[in-house]
Chain A
Amino acid sequence: MVGSKKGLTFRYLIAFALLIVMVFPYLYMVLNSFADWTQVDNKLVPTEFTMRSYEWLFSGGEAGIARPWLKAFFNSVIVSTASTALMMVTGAMVAFALAKMNFKGRDFINNAVLFQMFFPAIILLIPTFLIIQNAGLYDTYTAMILPKAMSLWAVFMYTNFFRAIPDTFIEAAKLDGASNFQILYKIVLPMSKSITTVVFLFLFMERWTELLWDMIVVRSDGLLTLNVLLSQMFGPYGGYPGPMYAASVLLTVPIIILFLFFSKQFKEGMQFTLK
């Protein structure tokens, strides 16, 4: 359905117009983070610029209360990295067992994973909080990491991908005396780079932008993630729109850079997941 040359030009025009509309909120955010404070939210495209919003953010504002923005940024990095790394390791391990090992109870585990994946998770929120509290983990990094150390979606994605890898590769390695961990680490995972990128990006993004869980298990200023700090600082009655946009930029830009950095592998990986 590519159509005529004229039709193609028309489609490119529409596509660019749509793209501008879609990324407009981001542009608005970036421009307003640099906008003169009299123009923030008053103009669609600001004309006068200043660094004041960023200065305010990092100096702690007029009240002089230094808000731990950088600390929050690093908290987010620590929590998201640890959590994502664990989710990927556990995901690949379990998926390897489900896809490439033959053992009693495999079908049961496979069905349990699928069942749990589609189970409404909201029912688990309160008791999971209580488990963390009773384990003495309230208000710690561990509280944010441990309940998110495993992703059933990652298990599901890896299982599907591993199943497509021919058994002969694994049997050959087996004959060479490789252990299961070696097979997973040295043969299966290197063959799964594209899917690993997709899984990593989705998991990291989701962890980076988590609000509800991080909000209820952490109270100390020094432990808040950037997303939670942003939410609390600029809640329903928050003032200072300029710094609000600056903080939003701080939260959004790293994830976009990460995504663009991996965009080529991401495209390849998505081809598989969309089949």
Chain B
Amino acid sequence: MMKRNGTGWLFASPYLLYAVIFFAIPLIWSMYLSFTDWNLISPVYYFKGFDNFIEAVKHPGVQAAFFVTFKFMAAFVPMVIASSLLVALVIHGLPKFKGLFLIGFFLPYLASGVVSSLIVKGLLSHNSAFNVFLRKFGIEVDWLSTPLSALLVVAAIIAWKFTGYYALILTAGFESISKDVYEAAAIDGVTPSQRFWKITLPLLYPALFTVLILSIGVSFGIFTEVYQLTGGGPNYATNTWQMEIFKQAFTNLSAGYASAVAIIASVVTFASILVIRKLLEMWGKRNGWV
């Protein structure tokens, strides 16, 4: 360990500069803007007190963003947990090709949200093989114009992207469980369901917890796929916070109002993640997994 305050600060200086210019100043500016009616262009603007916030809370786009985030979470989190768990369950401890599988499953993580959205748009287009196939059974779905299916499609795209990444974490979790534990359990005559609930799950819990927290975090930051596929529609069914803020700030140019929405979004995000985290920890503790 070195003791020279100067060099320490010198090495940390990129962060300090960055934190001032791209964190502290924007943060204060954002709060200031949220009390104005500034439109991103006009030199004149007025203070409106808390009007922006009151207006925002009443706005259908903001209300939709609030609920869409949780609906999205309800669809995305189980999807991605199930798929990554399945992948990890199948490939952990494989004697050969495990690395190849892990790399292969990781590839979707590299996809641009624009590209995966365009591919899915093609796969679900009116005359696509998939829709033609469904039509044989008399099923006709306009995937992106139906509120529920549009939400599910976006959730599925993002689950596809993250499955391999989370499977990596879960595989490491599975492999950290010692074989001796299972052997001892087998001698004691433990049934498969007991084995899963009493041994695998508690020992996998730390990895599972990580994946849960990460996937919940993802749910609050959806933009690209929604922008590319639905624009937040149909009728706000996929209107995420980022989408709403982008529309208000850069399409409607209501910078003041959009800043208020961004503050609401941040508070909701921060509080939700905190609460969910606490609940997960309590759940783990109550079951004796932690």
Contact = CB atoms under 8 A, between A and B. Distances in A.
Contact of B26 (A15, A105, A112, A127): A127
Interface stretch (B74-82, B115-123, B146-154): B115-123
Contact of B110 (A12, A104, A129, A205): A205
B2 A123 contact: no
Nearest to A201: B110
A274 interface: yes
B5 A104 contact: yes
B163 A22 contact: yes
A66 interface: no
A191 B2 CA distance: 20
Contacts of B120: 25
Given A90-B18, A120-B265, A274-B172, A130 B5 contact: no
B156 to A, nearest CB: 11
A164 interface: no
Nearest to B270: A120
A248 B118 contact: yes
A37 B72 CA distance: 35
Contacts of A180: 2, 7, 11
How many chain A residues sit at the interface, stated as a range, is 35 or more
Contact of A116 (B23, B87, B91): B23
A248 B262 contact: no
A123 B231 CA distance: 20
Contact of B224 (A96, A212, A251): A212
Given A122-B266, A241-B122, A11 B90 contact: yes
Contacts of B106: 259
A208 interface: yes
Contact of B129 (A42, A103, A149, A234): A42
B93 to A, nearest CB: 5
Nearest to A230: B114
B8 A102 contact: yes
Interface string A196-211: 0000000001001101
A14 B116 CA distance: 24
Given A122-B242, A125-B245, A23 B107 contact: yes
B103 A101 contact: no
A122 B241 contact: yes
B231 A230 contact: no
Contacts of A41: 122-123, 125, 127-128
Contacts of B263: 123
Contacts of A260: 103
A123 B27 CA distance: 7
Contacts, number: 260
B14 interface: yes
Nearest to A11: B90
A227 B114 contact: yes
Pick the most buried of B26, B93, B113, B269: most chain A CB atoms within 10 A of its CB: B26
B218 interface: no
A126 B11 contact: no
A223 interface: no
Contact of A174 (B2, B8, B21, B33): B2
B95 A2 contact: yes
Interface of A: 1-2, 8, 11-12, 14-15, 18-19, 22-23, 25-26, 28-29, 32, 40-44, 90, 93-94, 96-98, 100-106, 109, 112-113, 116, 119-120, 122-131, 147, 149-150, 155, 167, 170, 174, 180, 205, 208-209, 211-212, 216, 227, 230-231, 234-236, 241, 244-245, 248, 251-252, 255-256, 259-260, 263, 266-267, 270-271, 274-275
Interface of B: 1-9, 11-12, 14-16, 18-19, 21-23, 25-27, 29-30, 33, 86-87, 90-95, 97, 99, 101-116, 118-120, 122-123, 125, 127-130, 132, 160, 163-164, 168-169, 172, 174, 179, 182, 220-221, 223-224, 227-229, 231, 241-242, 245-246, 249-250, 255, 258-259, 262-263, 265-266, 269-270
7 contacts: A18-B86, A26-B108, A26-B111, A100-B2, A103-B3, A236-B231, A259-B103
A-B pairs, 5 with minimum CB distance:
A103-B8, A97-B11, A127-B26, A209-B112, A127-B29
